Amino acid sequence: MTLTGIGVHSGNPAEIILHPAPANHGVSFLRTGTPTGNDRLIKAHYACVSATELCTVVGDNETGAVATIEHLMSALYGLGVDNVLVEIDGPEMPILDGSARLFVQAIDGVGLTTCSAPRRWIKVLQPVRIESGRAFAELRPIDRGFRLDVEIDFESPVIGRSRKAMDLTPAAYRREIAGARTFGMMKDVERYWKAGFALGASLDNTVAVGETAVVNPEGLRFPDEFVRHKILDAVGDLALAGLPIQGAYRSYCGGHRMNVGILQALFADRANYAIVEGQGARREPARAEYGAALGLAAFAAEL
């Protein structure tokens, strides 16, 4: 499947092609159009993260990087896609409408195939926690599945304090998370521009927050869209564990840096986790309501 758009920070056009990949391949980015002229393969893994300011970046600027990967990674994790090769011709993923909805619709349009190999996942064995000022993130063991509990607390009265908890399943992800858009403060726009960020941001791909109200004429998609988008980002960043997680994630005033940081803390001690293997796999049927198939299918399996 192919998608095109512009990067929310660079403003540059980008095209991505999602290719099927075999079992145990994981998610990788094939970066073309690099500064060196050589294509570069970058693993979607926390160890390859080079920046977490306003977005998550893998690779490096000298030999080739891919920025703002969190929305696509979130869609892949949310739908249970374990193996895919993402070909991209520029340094930043297209932002599309600012959410993961169009990625989800495109993936559902081509459908998923279950791999023959048993699925592996990361089982959290003991609590892991990191803190930064008043912010914190933690992972805890649970009996099954992956649960997220995310809380935000902004000074802006438009956003304020909000908390949402959910068990991550493809159905819940499609319904509750995929459509939540990225957001930013109007008062910060000039500062972002000077720092080289948000050059492609617009009301078509970002919820713009004014002093007293949301600027977008259509308003919010959900009353608590802000915290839902923070969950979307957390799912995408935690997908960089390399395997799905069996555990519970909790964060307060977190972000990309904290999301990646909790993975670093988890893997810093082998006693924190185990790699376990399933005895079988099942998946949801392909979602036909988004229209005819658009291209090749991405392989996936869902516990």
Of 171, 165, 139, the closest CA to residue 152 belongs to: 165
User: Of residues 9, 19, 25, 256, which has the active-site annotation?
Assistant: 256
Judged by DSSP in three states, 222 sits in coil
Residue 165 backbone class (left: φ over 0; alpha: ψ -120 to 50; beta: rest): beta
Alpha helices in 31-139 (DSSP H): 70-79, 101-110
What's the distance, Cα to Cα, between the start and end of the chain in Å? Answer: 24
Q: Is 256 a catalytic residue?
A: yes
Rounded Cα distance, 298 and 3, in Å: 14
Rounded Cα distance, 143 and 140, in Å: 10
Buried b / exposed e over 25-59, threshold 16 CB at 10 Å, is ebbbbbbeebeeeeebebebbbebbebbebbbbbb
- The two most distant CA atoms of the chain are separated, in Å, by 53
Q: Is 19 annotated as a binding residue?
A: no
Q: Is 9 annotated as a binding residue?
A: no
Q: Is 71 annotated as a binding residue?
A: yes
Instruction: Enumerate the known binding-site residues.
Output: 71, 229, 233
Q: Supply the residues annotated as catalytic.
A: 256
Instruction: Enumerate the known binding-site residues for Zn(2+).
Output: 71, 229, 233
